[in-house]
Structure 1
Amino acid sequence: MVPLWIFIQFLLIKVYEVELVPVDEALYGPDEWVEPVIEEASIGHITDNDLKTAQNYIDQFYSDVPLRKRMTNPMEEKIKAMQSFFSLNVTGKIDKETMAIMLKPRCGVPDVHRFSHFPGKPKWQKTMITYRIVNYTPDITKNEVDFAVAQALRIWSEATPLQFLQIFSGNADIMISFASKAHGDFIPFDGPLGVLAHAYAPSEDIGGDTHFDEDEQWTLSGKAGTNIFLVALHELGHALGLEHSQDQRAIMYPTLLDNSAVDPTKFKLYSDDIAGIQALYATKQPKPTDAPKNPVVPERCNPTLGFDAVTRMRGDLLFFRNEVFWRKNARTRSVDTFSINTVWPSLGRVDAAYEFAARDVVYLFKGQQYWATSGFKMLWGYPRPITNFGFPKSVEKIDAAMFLKEENKAIFFVEDKYWSFDHNKNKMDSKSPRKIKDGFPGIEKKVEAAFQNIDYLYFSNGADQIEYSSRRQLVLRTIANYRWLNCD
């Protein structure tokens, strides 16, 4: 049973401000529209199934087209509106070109005009917008879905003052879900291809919600299937207040781009999309930044050297200390020195870090916030609060972090305890926190930096580092930190 408020909300969202001429529907039987609207040259090329598809298409996407004359064939008027929208020859007849457009996979939101907005131009009345992915498709990994959605929102954010924050429980402004056929909003999906997804304009309750058809074969890699990033970018444009564009180069064009093999990190909005979103939210104002200062570089071969954090990145090892870090190249074994602020402006220093290789992301922690970087490129939407991982507000900083690849878990060290975050379940383990000495027998001191290298774990405290066998839960030896940095 669908709640009454959803039905009312649906009706409100679907109302368009057009002046309709009353039509006596008794003048037209269900089949009487067929013969007058088939182009003679296309007879024989258009099947009965095509005609059924055409009528469903027109009913779904052009139901609100006003009639100019009382005795006009309503289907012919709607076909003319559709042909005009797609820059086809406007005849009011179904020909091969019109049928080809109707058969393309597309968005489920009705069509209007150039970089258009929903009636009344609804928009979010705030710049920080939350989103939540309620469930996931089995076609690709959860991490790929998270990545596709985050990249889509980053692109809209780059053109506007908007910021987006992912939450993992409760109600968000934009609720994202996968479903098939009827799914509770009075707009059922139609199976594979056809309608791929739909979204609602900004408002309370169902407004902003974005639904993907689970009957599609979703992909992110360019393999056979429908590119989830491109569809998410389009639908989230609707969730921000945009309707469809008539410009085929725009992401808000109703049908999916032919080239589905794209790199989300390099994708750019077309000018029509930018004009539309900025008409709602204005342009993004650049923030003034201070010129980075030259940091004091610690002596890397000093036997008393301590590490603030250590992490892997694309096979290399990064060692952080104060305002710099050293990168040990996995191929040449050379060690390069970098200023943190030069690579990641305004970050300053790092308390803890770990790599989540499945997403090609390194998480950097400072105080009660964290950032995400892919290579040396900081990702959009950061910093975020560490409470997103499930930490209570009483945790003021993380001392160290590392990733256990066998368990797909991130381990966080806070004073004499450790927390375990399960990336498969995307939540903190219920037994967290635990005493460090209980989970890692032999590690008695505070952990200032930690990482996994091949089959061993390494825990730093001051200048000393413990090499540890997690399989045997045994301390193997103690070494000096600086020996990782090509020092004798």
Structure 2
Amino acid sequence: MPYKQKQALTEETGMKCLLSLMVNFITLSAAFPPDRKDKNEENNQLAQAYLNQFYSLEIEGSHFVQSKNRSLFDGKLREMQAFFGLTVTGKLDSDTLAIMKVPRCGVPDVGQYGYTLPGWRKYSLTYRIMNYTPDMTPADVDEAIQKALQVWSKVTPLTFTRISKGVADIMIAFRTGGKACSEGSDFFEDHRELTYLPINCLSVHGWCPRHFDGPLGVLGHAFPPGLGLGGDTHFDEDETWIAKDGEGFNLFLVAAHEFGHSLGLSHSNDQTALMFPNYISLDPSKYPLSQDDIDGIQSIYGSPPKVTTKPSGNSEPHACDPTLTFDAITTFRREVMFFKGRHLWRVYSDIAGAEFEFIDSFWPSLPADLQAAYESPRDELLVFKDENFWVIRGYSVLPGYPKSIHTLGFPRRVKKIDAAVCDHDTRKTFFFVGIWCWRYDEMAQAMDRGFPQRIIKCFPGIRLRVDAVFQHNGFLYFFHGSRQFEYDMKAKNITQVIKTNSWFLCNEPLNASFNVSVKGKANSIGTVILHHKRLSLLTFSIVHVLTKTYN
């Protein structure tokens, strides 16, 4: 073949190949438009930055496409999806992206914040507002901060005092921009006297390791209790802050969340909790704390104390009052506690006399007028009022209480417990409700089958409603009105009937007709009371006859 003809054929073949490549390129370009590719890259970068900041991904640049980094990325993505209750796929789907784009707190969801941190070692804390946002009046900012702190002081023993000079436990500032300030800043010397924020960035200690990202995104951050930055709270000035309704973010809600971190709380995955990381617009007039928030903060600081005011007049009970009755009685280690209204008496087995105290001087969160109490084999005290009960260990009410009595296995028709006692020999607890008796297995943590039964069947001779009961030296002591009935568990009978306040060693003599010794076969409370009435009637008849004869 001539050379020119061969060359022309080669050029024609090359043109066909080039044309084919161009057609394929156009087809591929149509299938994957540039804007979609750019969008995927943008979403990947958003996800990487989000996981770096809040889930400790720690991958630099866009190198997560490598197999090892991709595996880390997918793992952290699953962790984030599980935290927010999403379908755990490890894939960057639309639901996951939507969560990542919601404005939120700048504190990580994992790491040292993955659990409740140690709190402050004191209850009296100070705070200082370093500067103000121009979005709100200073008075509105002051009010929002004060109310946000009160959210936590209402459920704890914490108190917050504002100071205007010096370093407070919680330093509060509005910051802006992505750079931290240094002491070389032109405005540093005046930072602590600023009213509004005139500079690009502000940190009350001169430098802050966390940065803000402009409008939306991160709204604020805070540091856990401790020295230096510990407790400090910063808000992003690039956001629009509001006091009530309107376009923007409610400062009160964001501040209350951030102060939770200042006090030692981590983020919660409970979407009803204030400590949920994403901003949720709530009605500021309503109480923002969920039970999850309350349980968390009280696990660090305990419950709030109640203001004790000594009652006046005849409201204070007297130990030697012959008509004295009790709300509840229980043993507690080596003492017996008698509850009445807002008070209790403590009687020790090896000490004469009784100590008279306010209930809230020991347990500030307990209500007055308790209705039942008993000591469990786990060295815990359980106290009851209406449909609620509390568990006390040592001298602390356990977090998470009160709980409903129905969690113990009572049917819904039971609205309160009259009395309770644990037989420490059998580790069975008896609950008394009206004329009925339930039995609870402390080891199995469940009600025994075959109950309730009538009290008279479980304890022959006990025919009346039980106000209180406790166990002492192998006997049960049932209280009804101003009398108590000593009951022999083995013999199944009443051994004696005495006044309720016999434990207090009162000096005034007791009516002998109430010191009735009962021996032999089983007797009932009703029988003993009838005996007392007959004795009184006989005495009255004799006196009447003698008077008539004398006249």
Q: TM-score range by the shorter chain?
A: 0.3 to 0.5
TM-score (norm 1): 0.47
The structure, 1 or 2, with the larger RCO (C-alpha pairs under 8 Å, 6+ apart) is: 1
TM-score (norm 2): 0.42
- State which structure, 1 or 2, has the greater radius of gyration over its C-alpha atoms: 2
